[in-house]
C-alpha cells in the first residue's frame, strides 16, 4: 500500500527541535512514512493513492492527550454521539483517555474499576471511530488498591492511569505508592489539578502533585478551575513532568504556563489536550483552538505549538506517531488558511488567530476524511488524483 502526497506548500514535522522540513512530497508505505523530500528526489512510482495538496500545509495527525471516552462513540456526559469522529474532523487522529469516568454508575469497587479499565482498553483496540486511534483503559484510582491490581491490569493491556483525584485517592500519601506501582507496570500516569471539575471530586494543588509524582500534570491550566500561577511555576521549575494545557481550562493560566515553560526551556514538556467531553461540552475543534490561542495570543511560533500537540505527546506516551519522519505511523493532516481569512497559509491563520481549514486527514497512510465537516473550508483543498477519495462534510 503506497500513498503519495505531492504539491505540499509546507511540511511541519512535529519535532520541536526541527519543526519545518524541506520538501513538497511525502511517501507513505504500508501505513508508515517512507520518505519526505522534493518530488524529484523521492520514489513516487506505483503509488496506489496520489493526493495533490495544492500548495497547502501538512502536519502530523494531532494527538489529544485528554479525552473522556466511555463506550463506542457515545458520551453520556453531553448525550452526544459521534464526538470522536467529530474530533477526527478537527485533525485529531489519536486520542488518549484521561479516565472513563463518565460511565453512568461507574463502579468504585476495585474489581469493578479494574474490569472497566480492561474492557475500555480492549474495546478501543478493536474500535477505531472513523479510523482514529483511541488509547483508553485509564482506571480511576480508589483506596485499597494493591500492587497486584496494577500487575493484573497491566497483563490485560492497561497502559494508562486516569486522572488521579477523580476517585477516592486524592492525597499525596495515598497516591504515591500507587503511582510507583503503575510506573513499575509500564503505565503512564496523569493527575487532576486545580479545583474540582464536577461535584464529588477534589481540589488538587502543587504539593499533592509533587508527592504523587505522576508523569503528567493533568490540565495544568485547570479543568476547568486552575491552580494558582505560583503553583504552576513550582511544577514547571521543580519537576520534569509533562505539562498538559487543555482547551476546556483557564485561558489566562494556559498562557502563563506557556510563558513560564518557555523561560525554563521546558517547551518539550508541554502537551495539549481538549478535556472533552466535559461540562464545557464536546469540542471537535478544541485542539485547533488551543493552537490558535498559544500562537495568536501566546506568540508561540505555530510550528512549535503543533509540536506540542504531536511529537511532544507521542514522546510522553510512547506512541509511534506524532512526527513526520520515516518509520512513524503515517497519520497526517492537510490544512490551509480558511476561505475569507487575512492569512494565506495554515500557519499564518494560527498566527492571526483563525482556525485553519482541513481538507484531508490520513490515518496509517489511508485518506479517511476529505473536507472536514467541522472546520471552515480550506482555501486550497487537497484532492485525490489517483485511488479512492474519502467522503467529505462540505
User: Using CB under 5 A as the criterion, which residues of the chain lie in contact with Zn ion when the complex forms?
Assistant: 163, 192, 197, 223
CB of residue 208 vs Zn ion: minimum separation in angstroms?
A: 13
**Which residue blocks in 22-162 are alpha helix, DSSP H?**
83-88, 110-126, 147-155
- 181 three-class SS: helix
Return the number of the residue (47 or 271) whose C-beta is nearest Zn ion: 271
CA-based max dimension of the chain: 62
Strand order in the sheet with 160-164: 160-164, 188-191, 216-217, 242-246, 270-273
Return the number of the residue (165 or 268) whose C-beta is nearest Zn ion: 165
CB of residue 218 vs Zn ion: minimum separation in angstroms?
A: 6
The DSSP code for 130 is G
The answer to whether 64 and 272 are in contact (CB under 8 A) is yes
CB of residue 224 vs Zn ion: minimum separation in angstroms?
A: 9
Return the number of the residue (163 or 336) whose C-beta is nearest Zn ion: 163
Return the number of the residue (223 or 357) whose C-beta is nearest Zn ion: 223
**Cα–Cα distance for residue pair 321/62, rounded to 1 Å:** 9
CB of residue 364 vs Zn ion: minimum separation in angstroms?
A: 31
Return the number of the residue (93 or 201) whose C-beta is nearest Zn ion: 201
Q: What is the DSSP string of 15-56?
A: -TTS-EE--SEEEEETTEEEEEE-GGGS--TT-SEEEE-TT-
382's grid cell: 487537497
The answer to whether 204 and 179 are in contact (CB under 8 A) is no
CB of residue 71 vs Zn ion: minimum separation in angstroms?
A: 20
Return the number of the residue (223 or 321) whose C-beta is nearest Zn ion: 223
CB of residue 98 vs Zn ion: minimum separation in angstroms?
A: 7
Cβ-Cβ contacts under 8 Å for 15 (sequence gap 6 or more): 307, 311, 323, 325
Amino acid at each position: 500500500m503506497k500513498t503519495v502526497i505531492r504539491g505540499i506548500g509546507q511540511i511541519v514535522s512535529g519535532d520541536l527541535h526541527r519543526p519545518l522540513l524541506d520538501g513538497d512530497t511525502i511517501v507513505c508505505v504500508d501505513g508508515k512514512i517512507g520518505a519526505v523530500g522534493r518530488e524529484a528526489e523521492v520514489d513516487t512510482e506505483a503509488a496506489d493513492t496520489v493526493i495533490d495538496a495544492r500548495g497547502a500545509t501538512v502536519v502530523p495527525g494531532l494527538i489529544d492527550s485528554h479525552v473522556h471516552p466511555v463506550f463506542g462513540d457515545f458520551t453520556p456526559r453531553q448525550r452526544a454521539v459521534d464526538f470522536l469522529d467529530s474530533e477526527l474532523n478537527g485533525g485529531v487522529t489519536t486520542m488518549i483517555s484521561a479516565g472513563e469516568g463518565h460511565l453512568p454508575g461507574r463502579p468504585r469497587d476495585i474489581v469493578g474499576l479494574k474490569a472497566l479499565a480492561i474492557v475500555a482498553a480492549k474495546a478501543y483496540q478493536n474500535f477505531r471511530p472513523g479510523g482514529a486511534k483511541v488509547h483508553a483503559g485509564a482506571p480511576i484510582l480508589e483506596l485499597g488498591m494493591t500492587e497486584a491490581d496494577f500487575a493484573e491490569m497491566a497483563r490485560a493491556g492497561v497502559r494508562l492511569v486516569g486522572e488521579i483525584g477523580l476517585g477516592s485517592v486524592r492525597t499525596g500519601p495515598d497516591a504515591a505508592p500507587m503511582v510507583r506501582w503503575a510506573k513499575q507496570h509500564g503505565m503512564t500516569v496523569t493527575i487532576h489539578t486545580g479545583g474540582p471539575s464536577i461535584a464529588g471530586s477534589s481540589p488538587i494543588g502543587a504539593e499533592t502533585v509533587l508527592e504523587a509524582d505522576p508523569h503528567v500534570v493533568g490540565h495544568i491550566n485547570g479543568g476547568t478551575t486552575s491552580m494558582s500561577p505560583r503553583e504552576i511555576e513550582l511544577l514547571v521549575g521543580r519537576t520534569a513532568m509533562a505539562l498538559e494545557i487543555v482547551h476546556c481550562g483557564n485561558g489566562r493560566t494556559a498562557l502563563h504556563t506557556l510563558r513560564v515553560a518557555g523561560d525554563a526551556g521546558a517547551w518539550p514538556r508541554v502537551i495539549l489536550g481538549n478535556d472533552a467531553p466535559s461540562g464545557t461540552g464536546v469540542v471537535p475543534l478544541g485542539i485547533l483552538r488551543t493552537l490558535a490561542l498559544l500562537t495568536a495570543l501566546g506568540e508561540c511560533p505555530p510550528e512549535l505549538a503543533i509540536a506540542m500537540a504531536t511529537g511532544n505527546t507521542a514522546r510522553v506516551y510512547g506512541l509511534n506517531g506524532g512526527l513526520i519522519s520515516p518509520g512513524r505511523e503515517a497519520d497526517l493532516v492537510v490544512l490551509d488558511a480558511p476561505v475569507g481569512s487575512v492569512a494565506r497559509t495554515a500557519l499564518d491563520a494560527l498566527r492571526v488567530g483563525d482556525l485553519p481549514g482541513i481538507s484531508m486527514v490520513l490515518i496509517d497512510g489511508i485518506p479517511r476524511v476529505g473536507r472536514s465537516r467541522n472546520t471552515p473550508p480550506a482555501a486550497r483543498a487537497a484532492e485525490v488524483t489517483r485511488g479512492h477519495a474519502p467522503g467529505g462534510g462540505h
